[in-house]
């Protein structure tokens, strides 16, 4: 049914459809029957898929990546769609409009999306108000934070610390986002010394807040797929040494190799979707081989099917995230993936999803 609806949706502007979708989810979330209806249609639960990390229970390993619910407005409705966790944001200290429109482009022939949104969000103070009932969500809620566009990299640590100040009371885990290609020079913060300084500042702010009585939260790092092998190894080792609790691999790519025949190939921004599948899985495997015995990995990039998710789990991911896949597969994607995971586990003789983690990544 969604494939028929998609033909109609894809005739309209991509960002307008996104805004309409968020509005519809708000209405469902706020109605006495809306959330129950979504849950009845899309919820799927099986103890064999339950994952425990950082002191939290994830009902299943399939989450929704940051970028969809930028202002933490509809995470309750999204949880009803069957996701095992929801990551909101990216959130910056001050609200900002993001980059000029148009800034979101579908490439259906490649099952891909190019975006250059630029961290458009309402800012930490307003988003915090939307997160006050995060603890009542049915699944863990992650908070993805970034710096404002106007903030120079030399002052980036201050921006991330401001986000922590306002948001640390909420959410189950935090993500330092320095890998988006749509904020000028942001990826420069992946340089090892800059990265170490930033993580130290964020963790120092976290400790300060914990001394005030706020519960400790795991802090993760989201990395880009466009680094050279040596740089990626340096980044993940530095992050682990500085106390990062997990790695999210990967963000969108600047490469256009797989879509160079498309009219949108010259559009600036990060490419996501099917062209990123192999690259992100390869990074998950390499990161797992480097630090998988020290920190969990969340695999993201080009996940459309249960097979895609399972491949990332066998490569070393403890959890996975989708986003572009939902645009192409529809709101039932989490349920479809989780059902397929059970089939694939049975085929391979696994009684629990945890047994599949890293099965293809020899240490």
- In sequence order, what are the residues at sequence separation of 6 or more whose Cβ sits closer than 8 angstroms to the Cβ of residue 79? 86, 137, 138, 139
Catalytic residue among 180, 272, 280, 318: 180
Token reading at 271: 């490419």
Residues in the chain: 363
Residue 318 catalytic?
no
**Contact yes or no for 311/340 (Cβ under 8 A):** no
**Contact yes or no for 221/192 (Cβ under 8 A):** no
SS3 154: helix
**Contact yes or no for 281/315 (Cβ under 8 A):** yes
SS3 272: strand
Listed residue (191, 167, 168) closest to 179, CA to CA: 191
Q: What is the DSSP letter of 260?
A: T
Q: What is the DSSP letter of 262?
A: S
Enzyme catalytic residues: 180
């Amino acid at each position: 049914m969604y494939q028929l609806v998609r033909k109609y949706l894809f005739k309209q502007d991509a960002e307008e459809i996104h805004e309409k979708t968020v509005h519809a989810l708000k209405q469902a979330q706020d109605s006495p029957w809306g959330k129950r209806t979504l849950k009845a249609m899309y919820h799927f639960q099986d103890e064999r898929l339950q994952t425990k990390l950082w002191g939290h229970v994830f009902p299943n390993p399939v989450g929704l990546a940051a970028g969809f619910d930028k202002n933490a407005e509809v995470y309750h409705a999204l949880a009803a769609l069957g996701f095992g966790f929801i990551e909101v944001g990216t959130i910056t200290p001050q609200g900002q409009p993001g980059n000029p429109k148009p800034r979101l482009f579908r490439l259906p022939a490649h099952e891909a999306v190019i975006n250059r949104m630029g961290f458009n969000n309402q800012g930490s103070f307003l988003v915090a108000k939307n997160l006050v009932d995060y603890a009542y969500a049915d699944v863990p809620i992650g908070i993805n934070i970034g710096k404002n566009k106007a903030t120079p990299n030399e002052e980036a640590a201050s921006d991330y610390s401001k986000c922590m100040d306002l948001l640390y009371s909420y959410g189950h885990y935090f993500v330092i986002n320095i890998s988006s290609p749509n904020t000028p020079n942001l990826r420069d913060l992946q340089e090892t010394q800059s990265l170490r300084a930033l993580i130290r500042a964020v963790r120092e702010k976290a400790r300060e807040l914990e001394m005030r009585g706020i519960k400790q939260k795991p802090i993760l790092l989201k990395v880009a797929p466009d680094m050279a092998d040596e740089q990626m190894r340096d980044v993940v080792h530095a992050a682990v040494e500085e106390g990062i609790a997990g790695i999210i691999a990967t963000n969108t790519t600047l490469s256009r190799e797989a879509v160079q025949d498309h009219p949108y190939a010259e559009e600036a921004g990060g490419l996501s979707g099917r062209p990123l599948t192999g690259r992100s899985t390869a990074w998950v495997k390499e990161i797992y081989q480097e630090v998988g015995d020290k920190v969990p990995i969340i695999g993201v990039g080009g996940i459309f099917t249960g097979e895609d998710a399972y491949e990332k789990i066998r490569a070393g991911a403890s959890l996975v995230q989708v986003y572009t896949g939902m645009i192409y597969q529809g709101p039932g994607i989490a349920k479809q993936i989780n059902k397929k995971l059970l089939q694939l586990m049975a085929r391979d003789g696994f009684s629990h999803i945890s047994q599949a983690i890293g099965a293809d990544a020899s240490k």
